[in-house]
A = this chain, B = another copy of it.
């Protein structure tokens, strides 16, 4: 059965109001919504995502190549189609890929999320990660190494910002995440549920290669321990990644790849 596509002829059509001026609106929040973009991300949104979609918006010349994707869009999610000119006018810039969707983000608290985790779980805890590239890359690495959840302090940027979703190739739609106000509260919530927390730092005590995986393990990443109180740092095991000593430390996303690979292997 062929899917019905809804043709949009005018840029001011109210049915596609959510797509208007996407770039600017990224900066001011979206009232519980996010924008997903590109074939790979929409494939995640309609397969393994924890979020549901409100609508899909396609450039007409992309429709024929997206039959597989369109087949997986639930019947109650409208699929809008427009010419390239109308689409660019609506979005406020040139949408190269011509594949967009609006998703809905429900709110979960960090404690609620932690209460859903199984007895064996690898969790990533992030403090002060403010760059969307790093956020997206860390989620992608977390998905690759089977992390069960990601906890974020309030000063982390939004994993559902358009660029973070894109860089994560959809992992921010898949790996469950929630916020816990600050690093000390985050560490407390993890410890009270039996998680061993490993804080990664260039001056960490143990070489990451020598860390023994525990059933419930949390990897804490920040801007060089950013925001962690001395009290919390003093009681957490810390690990370092050994490297050539005459260069700047690794980017936090690269460090997460190495550490998660180690903890995943156990």
- Give chain A interface residues in 132-177, CB to chain B under 8 Å: 133, 137, 140-141, 143-146, 169-171, 174
User: How many copies, total?
Assistant: 2
Whether the Cβ atoms of B254 and A241 lie closer than 8 Å is no
For chain A, which range describes its interface: under 10, 10 to 19, 20 to 34, or 35 or more residues? 20 to 34
State the Cβ distance, A254 to closest chain B Cβ, in Å: 4
- Residues of A223-247 whose CB lies within 8 A of B: 241-244, 246-247
CB pair B247–A174 under 8 Å, yes or no, is yes
Which one, B40, B48, B141, B244, contacts A254 given CB within 8 A? B141
In the complex, A263 has a CB within 8 A of chain B = no
- Hey, which chain B residues are within 8 Å of A265, CB to CB? 209, 242
Determine whether A257 belongs to the interface, using a CB cutoff of 8 Å to chain B.
Answer: yes
Q: Say yes or no for A108: interface residue by CB 8 A criterion.
A: no
* Residue A261 at the chain B interface, CB threshold 8 Å: yes
Q: Are the C-beta atoms of B258 and A243 separated by less than 8 Å?
A: no
Task: Tell me whether A48 and B144 are in contact (CB under 8 A).
Answer: no
Residues of B close to A244: CB separation below 8 A: 143-146, 264
Look across to chain B and name the residue whose beta carbon is closest to the beta carbon of A245.
B146
Q: Is A249 in the interface zone, CB < 8 Å from B?
A: yes
A248 contacts the other chain (CB 8 A) = yes
Which residue of B has the minimal Cβ distance to A257? B254
